[in-house]
Amino acid sequence: SEVNNTDTGVFIGASSTDYDRLLEQSALESAAHYSTGASAALLANRISYFFDWHGPSLTLDTACSSSLVAVHQAIKALRAGECQRAVVGGVNLILHPASSIAYGEAGMLAPDGCCKTFDARANGYVRSEGAVVLLLAPLSVAIANNNRIHALLTGSATNHGGMAAGVTVPNPEQQARLLQAAWRDAGIQPRALSYIETHCTGTALGDPIEIQGIKQAFADDGISSEKLCGLGAVKTQLGHLEAAAGIVGLLKTVLCL
């Protein structure tokens, strides 16, 4: 194949450990292949091995931002010339009830199993599973190869909220800074933005904080509160894919375009 033995990078976002739990509960004796079969690192490395790719090969775990951080790292690697193209993905599988029970006990899940983002009745998120994989390449390379181009990613950014109200609670000020860094990296004027795909999961705590951060980002860049910008959240259709949630939202936005 023309893609084999190339400098293609692989960047996969994943954070579930459910398969490890199943192995621990099984009555099977430990075997040599258990370590490679359950290794998070090999989510990316096995793909690189199979296709004989030589670019960076990373599995990233930053919880629910894992797949978008994977996209960010892939963009950086492409810009730096570390790879010719990049396969970027996110995956979430629910194979064991332990995490669902814990999240339910913490009050994070919607008792009725319905995601109600942007709704006064919002009372928790809905877990779901799936996988998304995208192929990224520099625009000049895609044009030279006569690839069908679905969208152009012009910029990205990443940060951390620091000491917020809790380790799982977003920080509106840092979310505002993140948005500003992203559109500056992309060379985009914020007043030209007409749509934002949010992370909003349908929780009474996180969603208002995220919206506050978006409004603050516009305001800090001198954009009037009268600015109209559409907001969306794919979780109302598909649920929250956790480690894969970000790239699902990216794919939705590409399909909308």
Q: What is residue 10's predicted lDDT score, i.e. its pLDDT?
A: 98
Give the active site residue among 72, 83, 199, 200: 199
* Cβ neighbours for 15, distance < 8 A, ≥ 6 positions apart: 61, 62, 63, 66, 92, 242, 243
30-to-12, 27, 33, 37, 187 alpha-carbon distances in Å: 27, 9, 8, 12, 53
Question: What is the sign, positive or negative, of the torsion defined by CA atoms of 98, 102, 108, 113?
Answer: positive
Q: Which of 62, 59, 55, 61 is closest to 78 using CA atoms?
A: 55
Give the active site residue among 64, 83, 115, 200: 64
Is 199 a residue of the active site? yes
190: tokens are 């914020």
The three-state DSSP-derived secondary structure of the chain is CCCCCCCEEEEEECCCCHHHHHHHHCCCCCCCHHHHHCCCHHHHHHHHHHHCCCCCEEEECECECHHHHHHHHHHHHHHCCCCCEEEEEEEECCCCCHHHHHHHHCCCECCCCCCCCCCCCCCCECECCEEEEEEECCHHHHHHCCCCCCCCCCCCCCCCCCCCCCCCCCCHHHHHHHHHHHHHHHCCCHHHCCEEECCCCCCCCHHHHHHHHHHHHHHHCCCCCCCCCEEECCHHHHCECHHHHHHHHHHHHHHHC
Q: Is residue 11 within 8 Å of 87, Cβ to Cβ?
A: yes
pLDDT by 10s per residue, the chain, length 257: 577 778 999 999 999 888 888 888 887 788 888 778 888 889 999 999 999 999 999 999 999 999 999 999 999 999 999 999 999 999 999 999 999 999 999 999 999 999 999 999 999 999 999 999 999 999 999 999 999 999 999 999 999 988 877 787 888 999 999 999 999 999 999 999 999 999 999 999 889 999 999 999 999 988 877 778 999 999 999 999 999 999 999 999 999 98
Q: Which of 200, 199, 202 is closest to 121 using CA atoms?
A: 202
The count of other CB atoms within 10 Å of the CB of residue 154 is: 13
Between CA 232 and CA 104 the distance in angstroms is 25
Is 150 a residue of the active site? no
Side chain identity at 202, as an amino acid letter? G
Side chain identity at 143, as an amino acid letter? I
Is 83 a residue of the active site? no
* Cβ neighbours for 94, distance < 8 A, ≥ 6 positions apart: 16, 18, 100, 127, 128, 129
Q: Which of 175, 241, 182 is closest to 210 using CA atoms?
A: 175
Cα Rg of the chain (Å, integer): 19
